[in-house]
Chains A and B, each alone.
Chain A
């Protein structure tokens, strides 16, 4: 049972990450509240994507990766959670739409089948429900057996959101989800995010400062691996405490 708007989802304490000798994240402390959208902004190489990938332990695919500090999901160390279970709870949507080379239906069904087995009827219902949540059902309901590559970029991205939702996550990580999309597709994905917040906790990494302003409840500004500032979005954008934040959101650097 998810309690709406109450409680801490992620608690990160003194996080440090190295890739070989490069210090990618420096002494970061963040709390992410349940059912909020946290936007993470910052220039390239600021560590924002690394931070995001820490939350579902995807960085561990790299060989020379080192981490210190604590990352807790609902007060449990994420390293003590079984990794498949962690990634089910903490879903991720990537920058480029990444449909699997399967049909539209199977793209969504893939994750469902992976985590629990159910009957054909139930599976179909679940796929429909999930596609509706991602605001894609109406556009694809007549062509579920077509290859997912035939969808437009925006549709593919929403399909990826549906696929992520299908496994029943609590948190959804978005890694620059609109960087390859046109403004209309972007708006649809943003709409989906705002509505999804009612049920899920969302962390959004974006290069688009205006997008952070539009959808984020809170905004975090990263620079060179440090968390410079974290506050309610309207405060960050109207009265930033740090002049580096001010400079970045005004487009003076980065």
Chain B
């Protein structure tokens, strides 16, 4: 009887585990099947590096370079803003802050992570967008820069909490060793703590950026959604994610436009997969 129970539970768990893999595989296959259909109409090179995205003109022009550049520009901008602030914040929480401040800050960061992205996008639209417009004297505040700033806020909680964990798990003996040599607190942080936690911090950064690349709602609301190759960060852009979200509802099922959107999904999938694998490599390097 006991043996039977063991067996049943074991198989149940096995089925649950397999199911999750099975569904992921299904999603992936569906994505590939629908996405690759577009390459009957346009070759992969022209699809990836074509300069114009006019999916409903006749014949449709399906070049996603403006979208890729839009995503990269917004992500890069978000990285430039969120990495220094996020890492500095993690150092402050892990190393400098007194216990009470530390608790308050950690709670605050978690709260930031809990804000739905559409709410952040909405707040950005009514506060940040007019601000960017008036500061830079440009015709519209719906720009890549606004998107970057907003996304930086979204990447920050991930970066801060994982980087803080990495710093916290540096053996205390390293710190004592550095202090015993007469190092100041800053020297200890810069020369010992940060290098020792570097793989964890890199993973934190990659995971934060992964979130930024996949983010849809907020960027759609505040980047202006113009599918043109951006010349500066103060221009409207459209990201890969926003394109899918905005156009999927209107695309005729089975049209080239429809298949092209799936192919955009594949590109997005490859990018975030690469980012996650990189993050994973860094995390595992730490364990070794």
With A94-B173, A94-B176: A163-B181 Cβ-Cβ less than 8 Å: yes
How far in angstroms is the closest Cβ of chain A from B37? 51
- Please count the residue pairs between chain A and chain B whose beta carbons lie under 8 angstroms apart in the complex: 56
- Residues 58-97 of A at the B interface (beta carbon under 8 Å): 58, 61, 63, 83-88, 91-92, 94, 96
List A contacts of B84 (CB < 8 A).
Answer: none
**A-B contact list, 27 entries, CB within 8 Å:** A56-B180, A58-B179, A58-B180, A83-B182, A84-B182, A85-B182, A87-B179, A87-B182, A87-B183, A88-B181, A94-B173, A94-B176, A96-B173, A98-B173, A100-B192, A101-B195, A102-B195, A110-B191, A111-B181, A114-B181, A114-B183, A114-B191, A115-B182, A160-B177, A163-B181, A164-B181, A167-B182
Say yes or no for B187: interface residue by CB 8 A criterion.
yes
A10-59 contacts to B, CB under 8 A, are 56, 58
- Closest A residue to B170 using CB positions: A101
Interface bin, chain B? 10 to 19
A223 to B208, CA, bound (A): 52
Cβ-neighbour of A101 out of B183, B184, B196 (below 8 A): B196
Choice from A58, A84, A96, A102 contacting B183 with Cβ under 8 Å: A84
Residue on A with the closest CB to B177? A98
Smallest beta-carbon distance B171→chain A, Å: 8
Cα A85 to Cα B184 in complex, Å, equals 10
B219 CB, nearest partner CB in chain A, Å: 39
Interface of chain B: mostly helix, strand, loop or mixed? helix
Interface residues of A (CB under 8 A from B): 56, 58, 61, 63, 83-88, 91-92, 94, 96, 98, 100-102, 110-111, 114-115, 160, 163-164, 167
A132 CB to nearest chain B CB (Å): 19
Contact between A91 and B180 (Cβ–Cβ < 8 Å)? yes
Residue interface mask B108-134, A partner, CB < 8 A = 1: 000000000000000000000000000
> Which residues of chain A come closer than 8 Å to B8, judged between CB atoms?
none
Given contacts A101-B195, A110-B191, whether A61 and B179 have CB atoms under 8 Å apart is yes
User: Is the pair B181, A87 in contact by a Cβ cutoff of 8 Å?
Assistant: yes
> What residues on B are CB-neighbors of A63 within 8 Å?
99
3 A-B pairs closest in CB distance: A87-B182, A92-B180, A88-B182
B175 surroundings in chain A (CB, below 8 A):
61
Min CB distance A180 to B, Å, is 12
Q: Which residues of chain B come closer than 8 Å to A85, judged between CB atoms?
A: 182
Per the bound structure, the CA–CA distance linking A86 and B180 in Å amounts to 9
Cross-chain contact A87 with B196 (CB below 8 angstroms): no
CA distance A153 to B86 in the complex (A): 37
Interface centre among B181, B187, B196 (most CB of A within 10 A): B181
| Contact across chains for B183 and A100 when beta carbons are under 8 A apart | no
CA distance A167 to B183 in the complex (A): 10
With a cutoff of 8 Å between Cβ atoms, the chain A residues found around residue B181 in the complex are 87-88, 91, 110-111, 114, 163-164, 167
